[in-house]
Amino acid sequence: MQSSVWLVASCALILCASRLIDGARGQRQCSELDYYYEYTECDSTGSRWRVAIPQSPGACTGLPEPVRGTECTFSCKAGEFLEMSAQECTQCAAGSYSLGSGIRFDQWDSMPAGFSSLATSLENGPHGADRIACNSSSWVPQGNYLESNRDECTVSLIYAVHLKKQGFVSFEYQYLDNNLLFEFFIQNDQCQEMDQFADAKWLKLTNHGEWATHTVNLKSGTNILYWRTGGVLMGTKVVKPVLLKNIQIEGVAYTSECFPCKPGMFSRAPGSSMCEPCPRDTYSGHGASSCTPCNTTSQYAAEASAVCKDRPPCSKKDYFQIHTACDHEGKTQVIYKWIEPKICLEGVPGAETFPPSGEREPCPPCNPGFYNNDMATCSPCPPGTFSDGMKPCKQCPAGTEPTLGYEFKWWNILPANMKTSCFNVGNSKCDSMNGWEMAGDHIQSGAGSSDNDYLILNIHIPGFKLPTSVSSRSGTEFGRITFEFETLCTADCELYFMMDVNRKSTTVVESWERTKARQSYMHIMTKNASVSYTWAFQRTNQPSDVRHYVNDVARIYSISVSNAVDGVSSGCRACALSTQPSSSTCVPCPPGHYIDTHTSQCTECPRNTRLVSHTSPGPEACRPCGPGSRSDKDHSLCYSDCHFTHTSGNVTLTFDFSLLGSVGTLMNGPSFTSKGTKYFHQFNISLCGGQEQLAVCTDNVTDLSITDTQTEKGEGANSVKSFICQSTVIPASGRGFHTALSSQSINLANTFLGATVENTLDGIRARPELYPWTSKKVPDINFYYRSLEATSSCESGRSAVVTLRCDPEKSTKGELAVPSQCPAATCDGCTFHFLWESSGACPTCTEKDYHQIEGVCKGGHQDLLYVWTEPKLCMGGVTLPEKKTLPCEGMELWVRLGAGLGAFTAVLLVSLTCYFWKKNKRLEYKYSRLVMSANKECEMPGADSCAVMEGENEGDMEDEIVYTKPSLLGKLKAIASKGNGEKYENVQLNSSHSKALVWS
Q: How many CB atoms lie within 10 A of CB 230?
A: 26
**Contacts for 746 with CB less than 8 Å, ≥ 6 apart:** 697, 720, 725, 726
The answer on pLDDT for 472 being more than 80 is no
Quickly list DSSP for 612-632.
-TTSPSSGGGEEEP-TT-EE-
Here the CATH number for the domain that contains residue 179 is 2.60.120.260
Quote the DSSP letter at residue 108. B
The answer on pLDDT for 556 being more than 90 is yes
Helix or strand (DSSP H, E) at 534: strand 531-538
C-alpha triplet 769, 639, 828: angle, nearest 5°? 35
- Asked if residue 961 is part of any domain, the answer here is no
Q: Amino acid identity of 226?
A: Y
Look at residue 924 in the predicted model and tell me its pLDDT. Answer: 81
**Contacts for 551 with CB less than 8 Å, ≥ 6 apart:** 317, 488, 490
The pTM is what?
Answer: 0.71
C-alpha triplet 826, 829, 835: angle, nearest 5°? 20
The answer on pLDDT for 158 being more than 90 is yes
Q: How many CB atoms lie within 10 A of CB 21?
A: 10
Look at residue 733 in the predicted model and tell me its pLDDT. Answer: 61
Mapping DSSP onto H, E and C, the string for 723-777 reads: CEEEEEEECCCCCCCCCCEEEEEEEEECEEEEEECCCEECCEECCHHHCCCCCCC
**Phi and psi at residue 123, to the nearest 5°:** -70, 135
Both 452 and 537 in one domain: the answer is: yes
- Asked if residue 753 is part of any domain, the answer here is yes
Whole-Å CA distances, 818 to 432, 566, 682: 50, 47, 11
Strands 35-39 and 49-54: antiparallel
Both 876 and 837 in one domain: the answer is: no
Helix axes 889-934, 968-977, angle to 10 degrees: 80
Cα–Cα distance, 758 to 646 (Å, whole number): 11
Higher pLDDT, 738 or 423: 423
Please tell me whether residue 818 adopts helix, strand or coil conformation: coil
Both 554 and 666 in one domain: the answer is: no
Residue range 691-726, pLDDT digits in tens: 888 899 887 765 444 444 344 344 444 678 889 999
CA dihedral sign of residues 502, 504, 510, 514: positive
Here the CATH number for the domain that contains residue 668 is 2.70.130.10
Among candidates 749, 835, 759, which has minimal Cα distance to 796? 749
Both 797 and 864 in one domain: the answer is: no
Among candidates 259, 271, 274, which has minimal Cα distance to 91? 271
pLDDT category at 196 given cuts 50, 70, 90 is low
Among candidates 367, 592, 614, which has minimal Cα distance to 480? 614
- Asked if residue 489 is part of any domain, the answer here is yes
Q: Alpha helices, DSSP H only, in 820-967?
A: 889-934
Residue count of the chain, please give it: 1000
The answer on pLDDT for 570 being more than 80 is yes
Tell which of 508, 535, 565 closes a domain.
Answer: 565
Mapping DSSP onto H, E and C, the string for 673-701 reads: CCCCCEEEEEEEEECCCCHHHCEEEECCC
Residue range 931-948, pLDDT digits in tens: 777 665 544 444 444 444
Tell which of 524, 540, 565 closes a domain.
Answer: 565
987: left (phi over 0), alpha (psi -120 to 50) or beta: beta
Quote the DSSP letter at residue 362. E
pLDDT category at 756 given cuts 50, 70, 90 is very high
Quickly list DSSP for 146-168.
EE--SSSSEEEEEEEEEESS-EE
Residue range 869-928, pLDDT digits in tens: 888 888 888 888 888 888 875 555 566 777 888 888 888 888 888 888 888 888 887 788
**Contacts for 427 with CB less than 8 Å, ≥ 6 apart:** 144, 302, 303, 304
Here the CATH number for the domain that contains residue 551 is 2.60.120.200
Cα dihedral: 704, 709, 714, 716 (round 10): -40
**Contacts for 735 with CB less than 8 Å, ≥ 6 apart:** 120, 122, 154, 230, 741
Cα–Cα distance, 539 to 455 (Å, whole number): 9
Quickly list DSSP for 186-221.
EE-TTSPBPP--GGGTBPPP--TT--EEEEEEE-SE
Half-sphere exposure (Cβ direction) of 269: Cα atoms closer than 13 Å = 4
Instruction: Give the chain's domain count.
Output: 4
The answer on pLDDT for 969 being more than 70 is no
pLDDT category at 950 given cuts 50, 70, 90 is very low
- Asked if residue 191 is part of any domain, the answer here is yes
Give CA 93 to chain center in angstroms.
Answer: 57
Cα–Cα distance, 433 to 490 (Å, whole number): 23
Cα dihedral: 630, 635, 636, 641 (round 10): -20
Among 446-450, 722-726, 978-982, the least confident range: 978-982
Cα–Cα distance, 856 to 895 (Å, whole number): 14
- Asked if residue 60 is part of any domain, the answer here is no
- Asked if residue 862 is part of any domain, the answer here is yes
Whole-Å CA distances, 916 to 903, 912, 921: 21, 6, 9
Cα–Cα distance, 630 to 628 (Å, whole number): 7
Cα–Cα distance, 214 to 248 (Å, whole number): 11
- Asked if residue 295 is part of any domain, the answer here is no
Look at residue 989 in the predicted model and tell me its pLDDT. Answer: 40
Residue range 743-752, pLDDT digits in tens: 778 889 889 9
pLDDT category at 476 given cuts 50, 70, 90 is low
Both 873 and 737 in one domain: the answer is: no
Q: Amino acid identity of 266?
A: F
Both 197 and 110 in one domain: the answer is: yes
The answer on pLDDT for 271 being more than 60 is yes
Long-range contact pairs involving 28-36 (C-beta distance under 8 Å, separation at least 24) = 28/60, 28/61, 29/60, 29/61, 29/62, 30/54, 30/59, 30/60, 30/61, 30/62, 30/63, 31/60, 32/85, 34/59, 34/60, 35/63, 35/64, 36/84
Give CA 685 to chain center in angstroms.
Answer: 14
Mapping DSSP onto H, E and C, the string for 276-294 reads: EECCCCEECCCCECCCEEC
Q: What is the mean pLDDT of residues 844-860?
A: 85
The answer on pLDDT for 170 being more than 50 is yes
Query: Which runs of E-coded beta strand occur in 8-166?
Result: 35-39, 49-54, 67-68, 80-83, 88-91, 96-97, 102-105, 115-120, 123-124, 130-131, 140-141, 146-147, 154-163
The answer on pLDDT for 803 being more than 90 is yes
Cα–Cα distance, 342 to 281 (Å, whole number): 11
Look at residue 32 in the predicted model and tell me its pLDDT. Answer: 79
Which residues constitute the domain of residue 871?
A: 850-887
Cα–Cα distance, 222 to 224 (Å, whole number): 7
Percentage above 70 pLDDT, the chain: 81
The answer on pLDDT for 734 being more than 70 is no
Both 836 and 876 in one domain: the answer is: no
Both 112 and 180 in one domain: the answer is: yes
Both 786 and 883 in one domain: the answer is: no
Look at residue 22 in the predicted model and tell me its pLDDT. Answer: 45
Average pLDDT, the chain: 80
The answer on pLDDT for 344 being more than 70 is yes
Look at residue 414 in the predicted model and tell me its pLDDT. Answer: 86
Residue range 43-73, pLDDT digits in tens: 777 778 888 888 888 788 888 888 888 777 7
- Sort 670 into a burial class: Cβ within 10 Å, 0-12 / 13-18 / 19+: middle
The answer on pLDDT for 92 being more than 50 is yes
Q: How many CB atoms lie within 10 A of CB 214?
A: 17
- Asked if residue 244 is part of any domain, the answer here is yes
Q: Amino acid identity of 990?
A: N
Residue range 385-406, pLDDT digits in tens: 999 888 889 998 888 888 899 9
Both 800 and 854 in one domain: the answer is: no
Cα–Cα distance, 844 to 619 (Å, whole number): 37
Look at residue 708 in the predicted model and tell me its pLDDT. Answer: 40
User: Which residue(s) pair with 799 in the sheet?
Assistant: 786, 831
28: left (phi over 0), alpha (psi -120 to 50) or beta: beta
Which of the residue ranges 123-137, 322-336, 582-596, 681-695 has the most confident prediction, judged by mean pLDDT?
681-695
Whole-Å CA distances, 451 to 422, 423, 454, 491, 888: 11, 11, 9, 10, 100
Both 158 and 181 in one domain: the answer is: yes
**Contacts for 913 with CB less than 8 Å, ≥ 6 apart:** none
Tell which of 842, 873, 908 closes a domain.
Answer: 842
Cα–Cα distance, 417 to 388 (Å, whole number): 19
Cα–Cα distance, 869 to 851 (Å, whole number): 7
Both 504 and 650 in one domain: the answer is: no
Look at residue 322 in the predicted model and tell me its pLDDT. Answer: 80
First to last CA, the chain: 174
- Sort 318 into a burial class: Cβ within 10 Å, 0-12 / 13-18 / 19+: buried
